[in-house]
Structure 1
Amino acid sequence: MGASTRKTSLDEPGFNVLAAEGGLSPFTSTSSGWDNVWPLKPDVVFEGGNAGTDGTMSDNFDSLELLTANARFHRNLFTTINATSAASALAASMAAKLMAHFPDLRPETIRGLMTHSARWTPKMLEMYPPNNQAGYARLIRHCGWGIPDQNLAMWSVNNSLSLIEESSLRPYQKTHEGIKTHQMNVHALPWPVQELLELRDTPVEMRVTLSYFIEPNPSSRGSVSKFYYPSHRLRFAMKRPTEQFDDFRARINAAAQVVGEEAMASGNDRNWLLGKTQRHKGSLHQDIWQGTAAELANCGFLAVFPGQGWWRTRQALEKYDSEARYSLIVSIHVPGTEVDLLTPVQSQIDALIANPVAIPI
């Protein structure tokens, strides 16, 4: 959890605020110093307060912090809080509200919705300009995916569409040749194909979030390899606009057999902000596709498939038969138009959204 700030009101002679409105809080945590194989953290940022400076030193001021209940209530009912402690409290509040509003959703989905609804402020984009895929990774290592929007996490509007799928697969299986990759899921999305085709060259944006939880390796704390720590790893890939379904399945099948990310590095990846080599780190994967509506109309299949993990490599622990749950969130946004994407999808959704295809690899 990182911290941003919108607190810039300071009435203290000789002092100015240290961080600009919408920028990172001076007290935030980042993963900018981590090795490149480790997860892109933080996931999101919430208000963490600001600090004042006179040019030579910085100091905390109550007006730049958040009001909270005081643990020593017999002395004072209220106090202030800042940094990632404040941001974590706000994140917990949003998660609780989402769980109350959607009581049947999994924890994986709640985490995914929070990240899926996050947006960068103009100041964040100014501080860490994302000129390419590596630039977006750098932005996320400082600012996460931005500040979550509770209203956006709860509702769609007519020119936007959000789909949620809660599913599972068995990543590995034991064979006479050892532990092998077992299943992938191909999701047929209830796409508003006709409406997208009618928009032709209109710019559209698709956001995909894959959220799941892992079991840490009990004997690999501080491991230098990303393959030793998680029990399993999942990845996602979308069918390309000009790709036939059989070719798409063959491409994902081949990628699932490779331990590293190299198999995903081939092919055109220009539509994605992060791309295949950047997004599959940790257990929360998100990326944004940008292109034309006509291109997106032909991308109606999304695969979730396994990568390496100690469930596969540590055979003696007999976890190779374990089931991996995940939540998949896909949204389409057509800015600047009044096209109705919700109505055509509603007629398909009951029949299709619960029909992933479990395909042996």
Structure 2
Amino acid sequence: MSEHDRPHIDITALAQRRTFKSPGSNARQRALNRVRGDHGLRLIAEIGNAFAEAEAGQRGLPEQPADLEPAGGVFIEVELNRSAGATNLERQREGTRQAAEIVDENGVRRIALFVPDDMRDAFSQVFEDYTNGKLSEKGSPPKKTRVEPIEHIRAARLQSFWRDAPEALPEDPQAQMWWALWCFNDRIDRVLGSAAVLGLHIGNPDTFLRFPETTVIPAYGRRASIEMLLFATAGISELRRASDSPLVFTRDLKDDVPAFIDDLAERVTWPGNDAPAVCLLDTGVNRAHPLIEPALSPEDLMAIDTAWGGDDHEHGAGHGTGMAGLALHGDLVGPLASNLPIELIHRLESVKILPPPGVPDNDPHSYGPITQSAILLAEINNPDRDRVFCMAVTNEGRSGSDATAWSAAIDQAAVGAESDGAENPSPRRLILLSAGNIPDNSIAAEIADADAFPAEDPSQAWNALTIGGYTDKTGIGEAGYDGWTTVAPVGAASPYSRTSFLWDTSQSPFKPELVFEAGNRALSPCGAEAVAGLDSLSLLTASRLVAQKPLDAFWATSAATAQAARMAAQLTAAYPHYWPETIRALMVHSARWTGHMDQLVAQCATKREKADCLRRFGYGIPDLGRAMASAIDDLALVAQNTIRPFRMEGGSVRFNESHIYQLPWPQDVLEALDNTRVRLKVALSYFVEPNPSFATNLDPARYQSFGLRFDLKRSRETIGNFNRRNNAEGYDKDAPRAVNETNDGWLFGEKQISSGSLHVDIWEGPAVELAARNALYVHPISGWWRERKSLGRYGQEARYALVISLETPGVEVDLHTPISALVPVLVEVPIEI
């Protein structure tokens, strides 16, 4: 492999814009075979019963205040057939409004639907028309697509709105807790007024989270009062626990550390005040540490409550200070043992988001607003500085892929959508999160299966870069551990790191995307005990106890996340014109699996099994050298572009445009390599604006503002066929469909990488075949900007980063020079369709 000393190649100008029309149907509903008479009559009877039960249920709510205004309608629960796909039952002109969509442990899907009193007849008429109406020329009954997906209709219950673990919903009507009320934006005043009548305690407005269609409001009170509020206002779409309390991964850290701090501090060229920063959202930092103070100004030591102070308050060696040491220097063992000069090109900022001892804990519902407030605090403090945000704080009580208020708030902050201000729009932000840790349980059997520990909230945030751990540390140096081994072998996933294996694989993004060194656990000779936190199996970092213990051990995904933030800041310093979306794509482009991980992937028989490996250790370990620069035989093509996914036409929102790239492959060089294997890696990165409401866990188009996909031209197809496969614009609907040429060689395949807002796949094949695969499509798919026309966001412009890397493993050949020369030539050559 040649040295990485060449610039990455910019191919932004190669994008040629095309008016776009999807070549396939966008329907997400599959046809069902129903006997319409039986089906329709049964549903008509169920509707009448549901309305009657809903009225009786509202009258029977205990202790309902007389001055609580009636809702003007009732909620019913609609159970859908499992094969129906995501179904939208809402009809705005009729006043029917869809609320929560729940999938139980048996896969049964239920939707809570509000029907106004004055629209009951119209709602019922839909089913009458279906049952008794005249068939169409094709033999279909009226309203077929609305009625046939429905299995049952009944009165809604509180459980119909509960989008959390079933066991977390208290059974006792008098049980009190913090609730997260996901409210319709146009009924917030009604909810707040009724909550006051019911004596509920509402959180401060600063803790509200505002999304395009819903606002999340924290409320403390009895289950009975929440039930009254729900059915009396018809303003609440979902209920959840307001339990976003963080778990900071820290333990009593070990001592026995080297004493070379002063020497290292003298060898460091410290960064200027205008250098990019890693902004830590944690427990604060002790900036009196000699290895931190020159890179952390007093004014950059902040807290969301100024009374807390900015110092690290965590017990022992401190968590925030440990994060700071790794985010600035990486594992300190190497720098301390070296005698070489070191230049730092990034610095630190710190915003304390956790209260110190003696101060009441943060309200448990508030970590979404707290995270957004901390981000804004850093930006207001120094608006001209570039930064990446690092948060190794997770919610111990919640895991899974469903969007929460916290994860959606992070997605919102990443895309800069937390503010509606057109004059001062928020910037895009790169936010790095930890996947969360497997508990420090010493019983090896109880922690042996990492897949049994799903990644924790808010790591499911689509736009964030979630970090897990791997380990190379297998040498146990402590006395008293003769005969002990390590839990993980060299190059394996760290035994601290959680996975997304148990998440809904069809809808959830791959988490973690990347892994960094997180340390290992020691395993007793009999295999029964697994010990965490040994110095020899951990990393070395700064401690807040500067006088007593200035260095200490640090491990788990907190350590991995701090190192990832360090790399992101270094790339931001090297490429100030690169977007956060691009830095994310470059880090993934540079990642490679260890030998151990490669073996696991090679053992997989199917693409689905290979994708499961991504849910354990992501795309591997990033390499700073490869991310910083290209080599002659291992290079990156980079594009940063804007796209307008949708447009209004004739009263309907349609797709707007796609981009086609003519790839600058040197035909003669690749053909001369003949059957030599080459590797192509494509990373498409963009940030979505979240809309966390309704069935977002079932249908990504309801959560994402838009989506993008890429497709590489097949080697044996014409450019015209390639365009026809990806774009129906300009083709008659009765014209023959494009031929779907063989698309072998992809490691994961389009279906496996379709979720989230980062799409990555790897193609391997003969160089001569790649020579003909010389065009790439980027096209939009649907999202709520299109589907929620009433919100008026369909004309929004979006942006994306595309990184295409090409390498010739085992063969040194200069690809960089001819590709660089071809780019300006191809800019002037339109693609003939």
Length-normalised TM-score, structure 1:
0.91
SS at match of 1:68: strand
Distance 1:70 1:318 in 2: 51
1:50 paired residue among 512, 517, 520: 520
Conservation of the 8 A alpha-carbon contact between 2:717 and 2:741:
no
SS at match of 1:279: coil
1:110 paired residue among 559, 583, 593: 583
Matched, 1:293 2:767: yes
Match of 1:258?
Answer: none
Unaligned runs of 5+ in 1: 256-262
Match of 1:3?
Answer: 469
Matched, 1:81 2:554: yes
Distance 1:73 1:356 in 2: 63
Q: 1:82 to 1:352 in 2, by over 3 A?
A: farther
Shift of 1:356: 9.4
Identity of aligned residues (%): 41
Matched, 1:59 2:531: yes
Matched, 1:336 2:810: yes
Match of 2:241?
Answer: none
Distance 2:830 2:624 in 1: 28
Shift of 1:349: 2.4
Matched, 1:159 2:633: yes
Amino acid at match of 1:45: V
Distance 2:487 2:476 in 1: 10
Distance 1:150 1:34 in 2: 30
Match of 1:25?
Answer: 494
Q: 1:130 to 1:203 in 2, by over 3 A?
A: same
Matched, 1:198 2:640: no
Conservation of the 8 A alpha-carbon contact between 1:212 and 1:284:
yes
Length-normalised TM-score, structure 2:
0.40
Conservation of the 8 A alpha-carbon contact between 2:714 and 2:743:
no
CA deviation digits over 1:50-91, x for unaligned, max 9? Answer: 111212121121221111222343543222221111111011
Shift of 1:351: 4.7
Q: 1:213 to 1:352 in 2, by over 3 A?
A: farther
CA deviation digits over 1:176-230, x for unaligned, max 9? Answer: 2411111100011222122111212221111111111111114358633222211
Q: 1:296 to 1:17 in 2, by over 3 A?
A: same
- Superposed, 1:197-216 pairs within 5 Å as 197-216=671-690
Distance 1:355 1:322 in 2: 29
Q: 1:220 to 1:234 in 2, by over 3 A?
A: same
CA deviation digits over 1:79-137, x for unaligned, max 9? Answer: 22211111110110111111111111111111001101111111123345333312220
Conservation of the 8 A alpha-carbon contact between 1:115 and 1:148:
yes
SS at match of 1:41: coil
- Superposed, 1:238-257 pairs within 5 Å as 238-254=712-728
Shift of 1:254: 4.6
Matched, 1:276 2:750: yes
Distance 1:123 1:270 in 2: 25
Distance 1:236 1:352 in 2: 20
Conservation of the 8 A alpha-carbon contact between 1:203 and 1:291:
yes
Amino acid at match of 2:718: Q
Q: 1:235 to 1:356 in 2, by over 3 A?
A: farther
Amino acid at match of 2:471: T
Match of 2:354?
Answer: none
Amino acid at match of 1:154: M
1:146 paired residue among 600, 611, 620: 620
Distance 2:561 2:827 in 1: 33
Distance 1:96 1:185 in 2: 30
- Superposed, 1:120-139 pairs within 5 Å as 120-128=593-601, 129-139=603-613
Matched, 1:94 2:563: no
Q: Which range moved further: 11-20 or 48-57?
A: 11-20
Q: Which range moved further: 65-74 or 31-40?
A: 65-74
SS at match of 1:184: strand
Conservation of the 8 A alpha-carbon contact between 1:163 and 1:330:
yes
Distance 1:76 1:40 in 2: 39
Distance 2:659 2:722 in 1: 13
CA deviation digits over 1:236-266, x for unaligned, max 9? Answer: 00111111111111111159xxxxxxx99x6
SS at match of 2:699: coil
Distance 2:828 2:549 in 1: 53
Distance 2:646 2:512 in 1: 30
Would you say how many aligned residue pairs link Structure 1 and Structure 2? 350
Distance 1:169 1:148 in 2: 28
Distance 2:823 2:746 in 1: 26
Amino acid at match of 2:798: A
Amino acid at match of 1:63: S
Q: 1:84 to 1:222 in 2, by over 3 A?
A: farther
Unaligned runs of 5+ in 2: 1-466, 730-736
Amino acid at match of 1:13: D
Distance 1:281 1:222 in 2: 12
SS at match of 2:489: coil
Distance 1:94 1:170 in 2: 31
Q: CA RMSD in A?
A: 2.3
Q: 1:14 to 1:199 in 2, by over 3 A?
A: closer
Conservation of the 8 A alpha-carbon contact between 1:49 and 1:65:
yes
Amino acid at match of 1:92: A
Distance 1:63 1:276 in 2: 42
Conservation of the 8 A alpha-carbon contact between 1:269 and 1:275:
no
Amino acid at match of 2:531: D
SS at match of 2:700: coil
Distance 2:812 2:482 in 1: 50
Matched, 1:13 2:482: yes
Match of 1:259?
Answer: none
Matched, 1:316 2:823: no
Conservation of the 8 A alpha-carbon contact between 1:204 and 1:332:
yes
Greater relative contact order (CA < 8 Å, ≥ 6 in sequence): 1
Amino acid at match of 1:30: T
Q: 1:223 to 1:159 in 2, by over 3 A?
A: closer
SS at match of 1:45: strand
Q: 1:14 to 1:336 in 2, by over 3 A?
A: closer
CA deviation digits over 1:122-171, x for unaligned, max 9? Answer: 11233453333122201111110111111111222222232101111111
Match of 2:285?
Answer: none
Amino acid at match of 1:20: P
Amino acid at match of 1:53: L
Distance 2:471 2:569 in 1: 22
Conservation of the 8 A alpha-carbon contact between 1:108 and 1:211:
yes
CA deviation digits over 1:301-334, x for unaligned, max 9? Answer: 1010011211111112111111111111112111
Distance 2:473 2:562 in 1: 17
Distance 1:72 1:178 in 2: 63
CA radius of gyration, larger in? 2
Conservation of the 8 A alpha-carbon contact between 1:165 and 1:353:
no
Q: Which range moved further: 172-181 or 125-134?
A: 125-134
Amino acid at match of 1:340: D
Distance 1:3 1:354 in 2: 46
Distance 2:643 2:723 in 1: 16
SS at match of 1:278: coil
